[in-house]
Amino acid sequence: MGRFMTTFLLFSYLWITFSAALTLLPTTQPSASSTNMIYSINFKIVNKKFDEDHHNSSSPAFMQLAQEIEHQMNTTCKQIYPSTFVTYKVKSFENGSVVTKSESTFKTGNTPTPEQISTYVFNLPKGSNETNFLNTNLRIAVDSVQIRSKY
C-alpha cells in the first residue's frame, strides 16, 4: 500500500503542476489590430440620393456603391502608401444625402496622419464646398470629411 500511495501522490503532484503550468500559458494570440493603425473615415456624398436599401449591407444598392468607393480608395491608398496601406472598407451608409462610414487600415510604422490622408487621398481643395471623390462621378462635401484614429 505504501508504493501505491507514493505513486498516487507523485501522479497527483505532477498533474497539479502540469495543470498550473497550463493556466499560465497565454490563451489568446495578439490581435492584428495591435500591429495596425485603423482610421475611421466618414464623409458625405452630396450628389447621390439616399435609398433605404443603403441600410442593408447585402442589398445591390449598398454593394454597388460600397464597391465603387472601396475600389477607388484601395487603389489610391496602395499607390500613395504602398508599404503601409492594408485595406479600406465601407462599414455603413446613413441618410443625409449619403453619409459614408468607413475604416482604413495601415501597418504601424510610417503611418500617415489623418491630415495626410485628407490632403493626399481626398485631395481636398481649400475654399471649396464640394469636390469630386477620386476617379468617380461622386461629389463629396469638403467640410464633411472626418478622419480619426480608432486605436
- How far apart CA 23 and CA 30 sit, in angstroms, is 17
Residue 15 lies in a domain: no
- How far apart CA 78 and CA 60 sit, in angstroms, is 26
- How far apart CA 84 and CA 73 sit, in angstroms, is 14
Considering the chain, what percentage of its residues have pLDDT values greater than 70? 77
Which CATH number does the domain housing residue 40 bear? 3.30.70.960
C-alpha cell recorded at residue 129: 464646398
Name the domain count of the chain: 1
pTM strictly above 0.85? no
The strand pairing partners of 101, in sequence order, are 42, 92
What is the per-residue pLDDT for 129? 84
Residue 4 lies in a domain: no
Domain of 102 in residue numbering reads as: 35-149
Residue 90 lies in a domain: yes
- How far apart CA 53 and CA 98 sit, in angstroms, is 12
Mean pLDDT of the chain: 81
**Is the model more confident about 151 or about 134?**
134
Residue 16 lies in a domain: no
Three-state secondary-structure class, residue 128? coil
- How far apart CA 60 and CA 103 sit, in angstroms, is 21
**Each residue's pLDDT tens digit, 32-84:** 446 899 999 999 999 999 999 999 999 999 999 999 999 999 999 999 999 99
Residue 28 lies in a domain: no
